[in-house]
Structure 1
Amino acid sequence: FDTGNPPAEGQDGWDFYSKVKEHIVYVHIKDALLRKSGEEEVFTFPGEGDGYVRQIVQDLLKSGYQGGMSIEPHLSAIIHLGKEASSEAKAFDTYVEYGRRFMRLIEQLQNAER
């Protein structure tokens, strides 16, 4: 499951997640603004878009999800769309920052549970 694909394709992320969550075994963390017809995809840091990243991760953790999660930023490069990063350093820095922000989001969710 990819948290950023539904909004990037103009779909409601929570609705899509709710319909497939019992089948999820791996999650790609990506976030995007809800795309309207004819608009380009706009990707964001986790929790800053319309992908319900915070809510989905919280729901997965509460339900005992034991599968993996990986980050898939799409901020510097989108290889399958032919978008290359402007530099390797920018791609690296963006990836690290994305990971840090996702780690903070996880920590916030875990602290809220205590």
Structure 2
Amino acid sequence: MERKRIKVSSKRQITIPQSFFNKLQIKTEVDCILKDGELVIRPVDEDHFFDFSDLILEDLLKQGIPTEDLVEEFRKNRKNVKHAFEQIIDEGKHIAKKHRENNIDETTELFGDLMEESSGRGKI
């Protein structure tokens, strides 16, 4: 186990030692986890974010996919998850850009009814 003491700035910021950063192959984000009185900082595993293996398998079983085809169908479905999320994100970016160009207030457009209700005329 490697250990290094680091300072915490007045803004609660820390600097990850270069050797730790390199060994963990940190890119642009880390997960910060509070566990049993300790702070765990670990690199974000992008592929893990898109891992819906249990849900894919459950769905394939519900569809009654024959055992001999299950592995092949699982692999196909698993590849599609990341692509689907990327498409959703791209669509969202495109819509946001369009709204900015047209000066449309996304908050009001998306949550208008809820905002009216929370202003005293309804429940929230």
Give the alignment's TM-score, normalised by structure 1.
Answer: 0.30
More helix by share: 2
Higher relative contact order at CA 8 Å, sep ≥6: structure 1 or structure 2? 1
Structure with max Cα Rg: 2
